[in-house]
Amino acid sequence: MNRHNFESYKDRYETISLERTDDGILTVTLHAPNDPESPVDYCAPYDWHYAHVEWSYCFFDIARDYHNEVVILTHTGPDFIKEEQIVDIGVSVPVSAWDKTQSHGYWLQMGLLGIECPVIGVVKGAAWVHAELLTQSDIVLCSEDASFGDVAHFEGGFLAPGDGVQIAWPSVLGPTRGSYFLMTGQVLDAQQALNLGVVNEVLPVDQLLPRAHRLAEEILRRPKLVRRYARIMGTHAARIKMTEQLGFGLALEGLSSAAPREMEQRAK
């Protein structure tokens, strides 16, 4: 019995809409809880890691469904995650809470990289938190008003950047540019992202999904094993790095969450 058929998980998640064509093109749209028309709400109304948890489980469901032929990973507009959505993340997180966060953070990255069919990422507007989930795709498209940053860690003063961004961004930008990006709060606009190799194409927002589907259809013309093995080879180095470094990074990120409380105590 196929325990991971599409019907078994397509309506399971409150922060994700899943639609699949007859030829296996799966569109994954991240959005607000129970509201497919509203943008990702990373912190509310449940708790800040609610989407974090759901996405980690959903990526594994997608990865284990052999009938997903191409994945288009996107989100409800106008933005992915903006700065105001991550206020107070990481401030004095209790150990018991961080243990869960560390586990979900690990499987979030490994679940995404575990998808063995080609992935096309589609980014609209500001992607200032976990943009690497979209930009680690095999092909990345973005809107003309897109921007990329990491404001939830070093720049926000809350946490050391250890939940995968410290691996993904230096891999995309190079070690020197990647460190600068993470430690200065640099925000890349769409043209800069294109020039630096973060994205492959910049398009008007209404052309993004049609272009993604055309690319998916082109990919489908290749034999299934060619498609799958190209994806597996393409993600192999990233999976090794995540396996070796992600747990260590998440542990240090958790330790760094005590820093704001320390500063408050010194100020008294």
Query: What sign does the CA torsion over 32, 38, 43, 44 have?
Result: negative
Strand 16-20 with 188-189, pairing: unpaired
Strand 25-30 with 70-75, pairing: parallel
Let me know if 132 is a catalytic residue: yes
Edge-to-edge, what's the strand order for the sheet holding 188-189? 126-127, 147-148, 188-189
Closest CA to 131 of 172, 102, 97: 172
Q: Whole-angstrom Cα distance, residue 121 to residue 266?
A: 44
Q: Whole-angstrom Cα distance, residue 58 to residue 150?
A: 23
Q: Among the options 54, 69, 132, 155, which is catalytic?
A: 132
Report phi then psi at 18, rounded to 5.
Answer: -125, 125
Residue type, 244: E
- Tokens representing 18? 């899943």
* Burial grade of 153 (CB within 10 A; 0-12, 13-18, 19 or more): buried
**Active site (catalytic) residues:** 132
